[in-house]
Amino acid sequence: MTALDHYLKDKRPFLESVFNAIQNGVIVLDQDFTIVRTNRWMEKKYASQMPLIDKKCYDLFRNGKGACSKCPYTVSLDTGKPHIEVVPYPSEQNPTGWFEVSMFRLEDDSGKVMGAIGHVKDITEHKNEEKQKEILETH
C-alpha cells in the first residue's frame, strides 16, 4: 500500500462517490506516475485498457512512450501550482480527440507531496468548432 493509499483509506467511500458523480475524468497519481484511483468516466473512456489502477498515466495518454513533453503532472509536482495542458486523444500520432488535463499537486496533512489529482475534460467538440470557425474565416 502506497502512502497515498494509506492516506485515502478512511476517506475512500466518500471520495469514490464524489469521483463517480463527476461527469469528466478524475485520475489520482502517485509520485511515480502510477494510477492509484480513477472515476467511472475514465474507466468508460479507457474500457479497452482496464484495469487502470497500477498502470502508468503515460500508458494511457501516450501508449507507454514516457511522460508528455509538457506533462501537466510533472509541472504541477515541480511548481506546486495547478497546471493545465491540452493533449491529443488517443495518441499524439493518431489524434481523434483532445483532452484538457488539469493537474493539482496532492500533499498530506504535513505538506509532504504524495502525488497529484487530475481532471480530464474532453474538449474535442470545442476544438472542432474552433477549426471550423478558422476555415470559414479564411474563405
Per the CB < 8 A criterion, the answer to whether 87 and 61 are in contact is yes
Query: pTM of the entire structure?
Result: 0.77
Contact 8, 42 (CB under 8 A): no
Which candidate, 26, 44, 89, places its Cα nearest to that of 62? 89
The owner of cell 504535513 is 110
Could you tell me which of 45, 49, 44, 34 has the C-alpha nearest to residue 3? 34
Which residue from 36, 34, 35 is spatially nearest to 8, judged by alpha carbons? 36
The answer to whether 72 and 118 have CB atoms below 8 angstroms apart is: yes
Per-residue pLDDT tens, the chain, 139 aa: give them.
777 777 667 777 877 788 789 999 999 999 888 999 999 999 998 898 899 999 998 887 766 666 766 778 888 888 889 999 888 877 677 778 889 999 999 998 898 999 999 999 999 988 888 888 888 787 6
Interatomic CA distance for residues 137 and 64, integer angstroms: 38
